[in-house]
Amino acid sequence: MQINIDADRIVADLEKLATFSDTESPVITRVVYSESDNKARAWLKEQCEASGLTVRKDPLGNLFACWQGTDTAAGAVGTGSHIDAIPHSGRFDGTVGVLGALESIRALQRSGFKPRRSIELLAFISEEPTRFGIGCLGSRMLCGSLTPEKAAALKDREDQPLTNFTGTLAEVKLPANYYSSFVELHIEQGPILEKENIPLGIVTSIAAPAALRILIEGEGGHAGAVLMPARRDAFLGAAEIALAVEAAAKATGVIDSVGTCGLVEVFPGLANSIPSKVKLELDIRDSDLARRDSMLQAIWKACDEIRARRKLKITSSTINADAPCTCGSEVVAALESSCQKEGIVYKKMVSRAYHDSLFMSRIAPTAMLFIPCKNGFSHRPEEYAAPQDLANGALVLARTLATLSTGLYSGS
């Protein structure tokens, strides 16, 4: 079967999608449920329908575009990613996995391929944690790892609840065996493929994130009047915790262990006032669950020591702590076979960033396909993927979807 990818169309679609933004191109800001996000989803729906796909939206806003197969009783082959974007980011994160997948389906249609299992494009809602403080909101609910009750209790930074849904959130979770497999195309968001001059990466495991919120309370006062021996400076305690995060990650001796203190809110936030309260939000990740949890234990131990020594009140809560996943062997095999048939060199690799695929792996064999991105840049306006890399990814994805649709690697 000859499959021809229209790389120019993928580029044009990405450029069009980039116009739906609260900031001017090349800077992209598209926060979930914002006006720009809603317009982008309406445009995507139009593109899917124009390609002959049957489109539906669940109560949360996950968008499904289905190419009906001949075996309607069989679980569908799923593919897709997200189109929401953090403030001041780029145009390729997530969107490649949606618009590249759409072109993969169009290419299969042009080739004359007829799917046995349905092939379904899924545009996840709220992959980014920008608004509600939790990543992969849509996929968490689709696989059932986030309950409707907990989702309904979420609030954004303006204390606004999750109210954009229609219907009931209990309807979001997918039925058993809805998907027979799932594969997500994505930019690497790292420099390995570009540095090694390898066109594609096949992901065999996805790292596990844990997000913590820590509140440090001390005693405020005048910056000039309170002498140093008497101080209970909440920010200095927070600074020590941030350094403890770095130390915990480095102590494992493994490159896959990472820790980040990405949010710091200081009260009252004045140069001449001793900080009385600080809120931290931490991101701790590893591809190995036990090693990730050992970092958490080290951070909590450090908090206890800092609390006692600095006479502070320190409380912590877990926002989420997800397990890593090993990718489905049949999906990895289908991706490898597709690369080999197309004569495209690939590298097996770990995804150190986490994606909706982490949660889809809870309900179906899942893997990811990476394409290089310039300098490994992501979550910034300089994010870039070359047209040839977009075409390579869409081509291998198309052949993989066809393979999985026939059931060659699913035992049916």
Residues 36-94: pLDDT tens digits? Answer: 999 999 999 999 999 999 999 999 999 999 999 999 999 999 999 999 999 999 999 99
As a whole number of angstroms, the distance between CA 83 and CA 81 comes to: 7
In sequence order, the 6+-apart residues with CB closer than 8 A to the CB of 12 are none
- pLDDT at position 411, please? 45
162-196 burial code (b ≥16 CB/10 A, e <16): bebbeeebeebbbeeeebbbbbbbbbbbbebbbee
Q: Choose among 392, 400, 402: nearest CA to 113.
A: 402
Give, to the nearest 10 degrees, the angle between helix 234-251 and helix 289-310.
150
Q: What is the mean pLDDT of the chain?
A: 95
Please state the φ and ψ torsions of residue 236, each to the nearest 5 degrees. -65, -35
- pLDDT at position 412, please? 46
Mean pLDDT of the 253-273 span? 95
- pLDDT at position 165, please? 63
Where does CATH 3.40.630.10 sit in the chain? 7-207+324-406
As a whole number of angstroms, the distance between CA 323 and CA 256 comes to: 14
Fold category of 209-321 in CATH: Alpha-Beta Plaits (3.30.70)
Residues 147-199: pLDDT tens digits? Answer: 999 999 998 888 888 876 677 899 999 999 999 999 999 999 999 999 999 99
Percent of the chain with pLDDT over 70: 98
More confident residue, 134 or 217: 217
Residue 133, pLDDT above cutoff 90: no
C-beta pairs of 63-67 under 8 Å, 24+ apart in sequence: 63/122, 63/123, 63/125, 64/120, 64/121, 64/122, 65/102, 65/120, 65/121, 65/122, 65/123, 66/118, 66/119, 66/120, 66/121, 67/105, 67/109, 67/115, 67/118, 67/119, 67/120, 67/121
pTM of the model: 0.89
Residue 347, pLDDT above cutoff 70: yes
As a whole number of angstroms, the distance between CA 191 and CA 195 comes to: 6
Where does CATH 3.30.70.360 sit in the chain? 209-321
Rg, the chain, Cα only = 23
Residues 281-313: pLDDT tens digits? Answer: 999 999 899 999 999 999 999 999 999 999 999
**Under CATH, which number does the domain 7-207+324-406 receive?**
3.40.630.10
More confident residue, 1 or 185: 185
